[in-house]
Amino acid sequence: MIVAVGCDHAGFALKSAVREFFEGKAEVLDCGLTETPADYPDVAFAAAKAVSEGRAEIGVLMCGTGIGMSVAANKIKGIRAAACNDAESARLGKAHNNLNVICLGGRVVSPDQAKAILDVWLATSFEGGRHLARVNKIAAAESSTLSTGGEEGEEGRVVVFNHPLVQHKIGMIRDKNTSVKEFRELVQEIAGLMVYEITRNLSLSETSVETPVASTTAYTLAGKKLAVVPVLRAGLGMVDGILQIIPNAKVGHIGLYRNPETLDPVEYYCKLPQDIGERDVFVLDPMLATGGSAAAAISLVKERGGQKVSLVCLIAAPEGIKKVHAAHPEADIFIAALDSHLNDHGYIVPGLGDAGDRLFGTK
Ligand code: RB5
């Protein structure tokens, strides 16, 4: 484990204790500074960026109170930092808020107290469950363009699934040790579970039935036609799970490759149901990373007459959501989990790696 450590002059007294604490436990990435008076935001940003970009797993920041460091660190995407000058705050900060950066006050705690606080923080695990749902809301708010509500027909919604079953299975597909077979099955299962929410706005017509006991009003789907359109190749992994629940949906396919010079997505295959304009269309792509191919796929469906097009993904980065909504502000985006950010290679962090390779065992 790598821990990013930084302080200003007022936190400097704690720094050697913190370094000592991590000896044999973690590698320390020293983000400065010394006892020379300096501005805490500079070091807070350096350490928080190291965590946000995945160069360090966690961070420890020290100033006079821990407050300035936490305020500054929280400006960096994906950072959950707080001043914890007692062990109970550190425990709950990890258990409930999944703090990835802890801030300590050199004018508030002694070096020994700081070590005891770090001990508790490291020994505590995030509880997940309802706390994960809350932390996900913070992540969703981090991108100012993320909408979370909205009526049908208005601005497109971003719907993040916080259902425990979905979160449980997402945890399993993130695991790099999950086999190809299990990964494939789990992707189908998650896609199937997502159908309940993506079809929530289908209209019903009223009818009546005779039960063995009495006649009663019943409801039947009003005949709205559906289509699913996987983006090749990873989108294929979601199709069967969805068709198990809505077997009459038609299936289109879109293939895109990336122009090596412009990096723009270029169509190499597109076959859609002829009556695409009469159908609610769900474009399927497990990973919404930069959003380039998802936005292009939605454009292709719209160019061929698609009127109501939504995007269904397993894991999304805020950058991808932003790009898709910039191009298609009306499109609903359904995602099982919203992650922190993209790394320099365009991979979602923490993500699950390359969904296509993991589905088809090509790596
Ligand atoms: C520096 O004197 C002090 O203001 C700073 O270390 C920190 O406590 C700010 O929150």
Query: Quick one: average pLDDT of 251-264?
Result: 89
Q: How far apart are CA 11 and CA 203, in angstroms?
A: 60
Which residues fall within 8 angstroms of residue 245, CB to CB, at 6 or more apart?
Answer: 192, 195, 196
- Ligand 1 and 318: CB distance under 6 A: no
Q: Residue 150 has what pLDDT?
A: 46
Kindly report the backbone phi and psi dihedral angles of residue 219, in degrees, each rounded to the nearest multiple of 5, phi listed first. Answer: -125, 145
Element (H, E) at 228: strand 225-230
Element (H, E) at 63: strand 58-63
- If one residue of 7, 8, 70 were mutated to test the ligand 1 pocket, choosing by the most ligand atoms within 8 A of its CB, it would be 8
Calculate the alpha carbon distances from 127 to 80, 92, 172, 226 in Å.
15, 10, 16, 38
Kindly report the backbone phi and psi dihedral angles of residue 300, in degrees, each rounded to the nearest multiple of 5, phi listed first. Answer: -60, -40
Q: How far apart are CA 213 and CA 202, in angstroms?
A: 29
| 105 CA: nearest ligand 1 atom | 8
- Ligand 1 and 71: CB distance under 6 A: no
Report CA(55)–ligand 1 centroid distance (Å): 26
Q: Around 175, how many Cα atoms within 13 Å sit in the side-chain half-sphere? A: 13
| 9 CA: nearest ligand 1 atom | 6
- Ligand 1 and 270: CB distance under 6 A: no
Residue 234 has pLDDT above 80, yes or no: yes
Whether the upstream peptide bond of residue 350 has omega within 30° of 0, thus cis, is yes
Whole-model pTM above 0.85? no
Report CA(113)–ligand 1 centroid distance (Å): 19
Give the single-character DSSP code of 363: -
- If one residue of 12, 61, 69 were mutated to test the ligand 1 pocket, choosing by the most ligand atoms within 8 A of its CB, it would be 69
- If one residue of 63, 104, 109 were mutated to test the ligand 1 pocket, choosing by the most ligand atoms within 8 A of its CB, it would be 63
Cβ(304)–Cβ(310) under 8 Å?
A: no
Q: How far apart are CA 11 and CA 8, in angstroms?
A: 5
Residue 147 has pLDDT above 50, yes or no: no
Q: How far apart are CA 173 and CA 96, in angstroms?
A: 23
| 8 CA: nearest ligand 1 atom | 6
Report CA(8)–ligand 1 centroid distance (Å): 8
- Ligand 1 and 7: CB distance under 6 A: no
String of b and e for 127-150 (b: at least 16 CB within 10 Å)?
eeeeebeebbeebbebbeebbeee
Report CA(106)–ligand 1 centroid distance (Å): 9
Q: How confident is the model at residue 138 (pLDDT cuts 50, 70, 90)?
A: confident
- Ligand 1 and 72: CB distance under 6 A: no
The percent of residues above 70 in pLDDT, for the chain, comes to 96
| 10 CA: nearest ligand 1 atom | 6
| pLDDT tens sequence across 166-223 | 999 999 999 999 999 999 999 999 999 999 989 988 888 888 999 999 999 888 887 7
- Ligand 1 and 8: CB distance under 6 A: yes
| pLDDT tens sequence across 15-62 | 999 999 999 999 999 998 877 888 999 999 999 999 988 899 999 999
Q: How confident is the model at residue 143 (pLDDT cuts 50, 70, 90)?
A: low
Range of weakest confidence among 195-209, 229-243, 280-294: 195-209
Specify the pairing of strand 101-105 against strand 204-210: unpaired
> Which of 340 and 331 is assigned the larger pLDDT?
331
- Ligand 1 and 65: CB distance under 6 A: yes
Nearest residue (by CA) to ligand 1, atom 4, is: 64
3-state secondary structure of 342: strand
